[in-house]
């Protein structure tokens, strides 16, 4: 479970918009494989009660901002149970990377990173 | 969670060698891991050969990068028990290290079957992302 980390509301000041963060990922990379281009994989992180949240098949996963990353850049972690941990980072120019550490049902731990851009959602 | 074409990507990763390193699920973690592959997202993967030691102690979690002076303070961010119907009863844990100086975040995930994945994000430096893979065994 997500442990209590220092939450900083100020981290959400920017680039998060009134309703959240709209991201489009165009490259998917897994170690030891070539990256794959994608025409645009949309991910929306909704702002719910002041926190960015990701809707998954299992429910809503709230992001925990990492306060050591200074705004307007941001990094958040998401515990997307039952089998994943996500790290999302957005630079001050809107460049974004999201890495998923995923435990597969077959008993394997894998990593996939998505690259693209994020912008305020309004 | 969107998975789209991830199945094909992860299927390839599934061919990675796996170390048998079953650990008592209730005992404090003490693992010696060998990161044998390093993959920057902007280039080809390369051999690494870096040993890390993951330990759970009274003062919290440590990850020691053997032979380096890298910081060792980590925080547990996720502890995911095996699903009741899982094929393999494997527990997944994730740690992070926050580097204030470089504004980077390192996430290490490992399971009780002996896999470890390390990913570093550095959004303030042109969004650099590096991932390392390896295997673990109980520290002797």
Q: How high is the pLDDT of residue A18?
A: 75
**Hey, are the CB atoms on B80 and A81 less than 8 Å from each other?**
yes
* pLDDT at A2 exceeding the cut of 50: no
Q: Is A87 helix (H, G, I), strand (E, B) or coil?
A: strand
Using CB atoms, which residue from B9, B77, B124 is nearest to A2?
Answer: B77
Contacts of B33 (CB under 8 A, 6+ apart): B51, B52, B53, B54, B110, B116, B134, B135, B136, B137
ipTM tops the 0.90 cut: no
Q: How high is the pLDDT of residue A38?
A: 93
* Closest to A99 measured CA to CA, from A28, A22, A12, A4: A28
**Hey, are the CB atoms on B16 and A108 less than 8 Å from each other?**
yes
Residue B7, CA distances (Å) to A27, A30, B42, B62 in order: 15, 11, 22, 32
Residue A104, CA distances (Å) to A14, A80, A116, B84 in order: 34, 13, 25, 14
Q: How high is the pLDDT of residue B74?
A: 97
Nearest CA in chain A to B102: A69
Distance (Å) from the alpha carbon of A50 to chain B's nearest alpha carbon: 20
Query: Which residue in A27, A32, A74 has the most chain B C-beta atoms within 10 A of its own C-beta, making it the best mutation to test that interface?
Result: A32
Q: Could you tell me if A36 and B5 are in contact, meaning their C-beta atoms sit under 8 angstroms apart?
A: yes
Q: How high is the pLDDT of residue B25?
A: 66
Residue B15, Ramachandran bin (φ over 0: left; ψ between -120 and 50: alpha; else beta) = alpha
Chain B, 45 to 74: residues with Cβ < 8 Å from chain A are 45
Alpha carbon distance B86, B69 (integer Å) = 39
Distance (Å) from the alpha carbon of B112 to chain A's nearest alpha carbon: 10
Kindly report the average pLDDT of chain A as a whole number.
Answer: 83
Using CB atoms, which residue from A103, A107, A115 is nearest to B41?
Answer: A115
pLDDT per position as a tens digit, B16-49? 333 334 445 678 999 999 999 999 988 889 999 9
Alpha carbon distance B51, B59 (integer Å) = 22
Q: How far is CA A99 from the centre of its chain?
A: 7
Distance (Å) from the alpha carbon of A45 to chain B's nearest alpha carbon: 12
Chain A / chain B CB contacts < 8 angstroms: 185
| Residue A75 phi, psi (nearest 5) | -135, 140
Q: How high is the pLDDT of residue B41?
A: 85
pTM of the model: 0.82
Nearest CA in chain A to B135: A109
Q: Could you tell me if B30 and B55 are in contact, meaning their C-beta atoms sit under 8 angstroms apart?
A: yes
Chain A, 59 to 98: residues with Cβ < 8 Å from chain B are 64, 66, 68-70, 73-75, 77, 79-85, 87, 89-92, 95-97
* pLDDT at A4 exceeding the cut of 60: no
Contacts of A22 (CB under 8 A, 6+ apart): A42, A43, A44, A45, A118, A119, A120, A121
Q: How high is the pLDDT of residue A14?
A: 60
Distance (Å) from the alpha carbon of B130 to chain A's nearest alpha carbon: 9
Give pLDDT < 50 ranges for chain B: 1-23
pLDDT per position as a tens digit, A40-82? 999 999 999 889 999 877 788 999 999 999 988 999 998 776 6
User: SS3 string of B1-66?
Assistant: CCCCCHHHHHHHHCCCCCCCCCCCCCCCCEEEEEEEEEEECCCCCEEEEEEEEEEEECCEEEEEEC
**Hey, are the CB atoms on B127 and A29 less than 8 Å from each other?**
no
């Amino acid at each position: 479970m997500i442990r209590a980390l220092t939450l900083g509301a100020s981290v959400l000041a920017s680039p998060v918009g009134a309703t959240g963060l709209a991201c489009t990922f165009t490259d998917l990379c897994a170690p030891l494989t070539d990256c794959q281009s994608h025409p645009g994989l949309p991910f929306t992180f909704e702002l719910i009660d002041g926190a960015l949240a990701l809707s998954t098949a299992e429910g809503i996963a709230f992001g925990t901002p990492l306060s050591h990353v200074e705004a307007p850049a941001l990094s958040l972690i998401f515990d997307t149970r039952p089998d994943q941990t996500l790290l999302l980072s957005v630079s001050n120019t809107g460049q974004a990377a999201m890495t998923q550490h995923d435990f597969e049902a077959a008993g394997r731990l894998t990593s996939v990173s998505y690259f693209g851009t994020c912008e305020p959602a309004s | 969670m969107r998975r789209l074409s991830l199945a094909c990507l992860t299927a390839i990763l599934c061919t990675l060698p796996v170390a048998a390193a079953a650990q008592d699920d209730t005992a404090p973690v003490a693992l010696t891991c060998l990161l044998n592959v390093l993959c920057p997202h902007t280039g080809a993967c390369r051999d690494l050969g870096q040993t890390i030691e993951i330990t759970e102690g009274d003062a919290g979690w440590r990850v020691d990068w053997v032979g380096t002076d890298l910081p060792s303070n980590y925080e547990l961010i996720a502890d995911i028990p095996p699903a009741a119907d899982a094929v393999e009863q494997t527990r997944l844990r994730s740690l992070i290290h926050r580097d204030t100086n470089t504004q980077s975040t390192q996430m290490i995930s490992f399971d009780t079957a002996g896999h470890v994945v390390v990913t570093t994000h550095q959004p303030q430096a042109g969004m650099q992302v590096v991932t390392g893979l390896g295997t673990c065994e109980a520290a002797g």
